[in-house]
Structure 1
């Protein structure tokens, strides 16, 4: 694990050193380069020079920061806060309507790919190579718009290694990639949380062709063969007053149901969610 010094002036001798860790995906790229004895690790905004122990800007070589290599344990609390935090959307509520077991996003993905409702990679392994290839390319396409191509290429590389594997192994890989701290889960969530918002319908539909194949692979969980009911899960989030009011109104109608359309982080432990 390589943190970089994050002081406003990283070379100051009078200020106490402050260190910031790289994201999961950046760390994966850096460690991959380090373990194969490459002199540098190239990231989207900067590169790491292992010999000089420097982080150097890709566009201005004068912008440098010291780095150091340490081992640390994952900070679960920090990561949980990141994933529990609602991304900003243009709606007064943070949930969607009752759409049944299959999300409208997944339905549109299947239509886009010309698949029948019962055509799933968990049931038809011949679909796996095609879906993995489309998922990898879609991730790269989305990343180009936000200048995260290096990160996307790493995600695609890891995913493509599973192209000819069985669905359980492919799904495990997709779940692993989704849980990494990276642009991927944020981009997917930002799109899928717009489902049900008529003012932004064209936004989430525009992601069907790029993010859709990956989402289909992640949704088609081969381990989840039985519907789980009567289970309480907890989720903490910062909500606006109008969003809280929407939940209060929903609670008045006990026979009605609502849904989270994005892949939503929850916990069985209320204390962790809070």
Structure 2
């Protein structure tokens, strides 16, 4: 799937009463990586493509259930779609999970999940032998896909092919590919952030390498300094937690997507985070401008790494009832 301008391509399947034009059926987009797989097969002139649960006839534009060929749905390819004018809701607008931090600038203030993996034999090996981290990441993605309930093995194999192509490239290219994969809508985004939020150390071996490769981008990137935004729907209990945290340091344990575009960020939710990233010498890079790496460059994404520390400056409510939470990194 290409998301730039007139070359944008999306693939849809029809839901509901699929063969009735007058029904309430709707056209539903395939998942991001699935669309990429389908489009690549289409461009290669293939007659069909297999996904985990479906076979898609690219000549007749019909989706078949792989276990019951009588279950069929029309498929549509749309070119030149209008690029979305708001941020993806789940990625940019889900409430961030707030935790306390021991002290700003200390190692423990950073991602404990990654820190634990780096202490493991595989983590120590990766620190000395970078290609082993790529192999561990590949194996971890494949294992998580098998365990995930959304039938994601085809997606995982496509991701693995992207990583395998990095083995003979500069180290920076590998971390860029990992960030690009993270920006896509797939099972991987969900399982990674869930593990980080829940501090699920049972997934250290499978997801620790991916965290390491994403974090490795900080070795060579230029830290983003400036103001970014995140619009979310917060319950009153969460807003109260931020009010009680004013003046103190906190962390978001998972990766946090923000945007340089305030207008897009404040489109959703009852709360707008205004996050000021200042020039600091106390820590590693705390913000990556990934807009040129992302599958969705128009979102102007700045990615905050897992475990980033921040100070809550203020919590105020505007006349339009929207809460404004000022954050400083």
Q: TM-score, normalised by structure 1?
A: 0.82
Q: Which runs of no fewer than 5 residues in structure 2 stay unpaired? A: 1-8, 267-329
- Counterparts of 2:24 and 2:239 in 1: how far apart (Å)? 42
Higher relative contact order structure (alpha carbons within 8 Å, sequence separation ≥ 6)? 1
Match of 1:210 among 206, 213, 216: 206
Runs of 4+ off more than 4 Å: none
Go from structure 1 to structure 2 and tell me whether the alpha carbon gap of 1:47 and 1:79 turns closer, same or farther (over 3 Å shift): farther
**What is the CA distance between 1:131 and its match in structure 2?**
0.8
Match for residue 152 of structure 2? 148
**What is the CA distance between 1:35 and its match in structure 2?**
2.4
Q: Which runs of no fewer than 5 residues in structure 1 stay unpaired? A: 88-92, 196-203
Go from structure 1 to structure 2 and tell me whether the alpha carbon gap of 1:241 and 1:45 turns closer, same or farther (over 3 Å shift): farther
Match of 1:193 among 194, 197, 201: 197
1:53-92 to structure 2, matched below 5 A, reads 53-73=61-81, 75-77=83-85, 79-86=87-94
Match for residue 272 of structure 1? 264
- Counterparts of 2:167 and 2:46 in 1: how far apart (Å)? 27
- Counterparts of 1:97 and 1:137 in 2: how far apart (Å)? 33
Match for residue 215 of structure 2? 219
RMSD: 2.4
1:247 paired to 2:278: no
**What is the CA distance between 1:192 and its match in structure 2?**
0.8
- Counterparts of 2:184 and 2:265 in 1: how far apart (Å)? 19
Match of 1:233 among 228, 236, 241: 228
**What is the CA distance between 1:65 and its match in structure 2?**
1.0
- Counterparts of 1:108 and 1:159 in 2: how far apart (Å)? 23
Go from structure 1 to structure 2 and tell me whether the alpha carbon gap of 1:267 and 1:247 turns closer, same or farther (over 3 Å shift): same
Q: TM-score, normalised by structure 2?
A: 0.69
**What is the CA distance between 1:78 and its match in structure 2?**
5.6
SS in 1 for 2:256: coil
**What is the CA distance between 1:136 and its match in structure 2?**
0.9
- Counterparts of 1:11 and 1:137 in 2: how far apart (Å)? 41
1:28 paired to 2:36: yes
Aligned pairs, number: 250
Match for residue 139 of structure 2? 137
**What is the CA distance between 1:240 and its match in structure 2?**
2.6
**What is the CA distance between 1:225 and its match in structure 2?**
5.4
Checking the alignment, whether the CA contact within 8 Å between 1:6 and 1:19 is kept in structure 2 is: yes
Go from structure 1 to structure 2 and tell me whether the alpha carbon gap of 1:77 and 1:142 turns closer, same or farther (over 3 Å shift): farther
Go from structure 1 to structure 2 and tell me whether the alpha carbon gap of 1:77 and 1:12 turns closer, same or farther (over 3 Å shift): same
Checking the alignment, whether the CA contact within 8 Å between 1:120 and 1:220 is kept in structure 2 is: no
- Counterparts of 1:167 and 1:243 in 2: how far apart (Å)? 40
Match for residue 100 of structure 2? 97
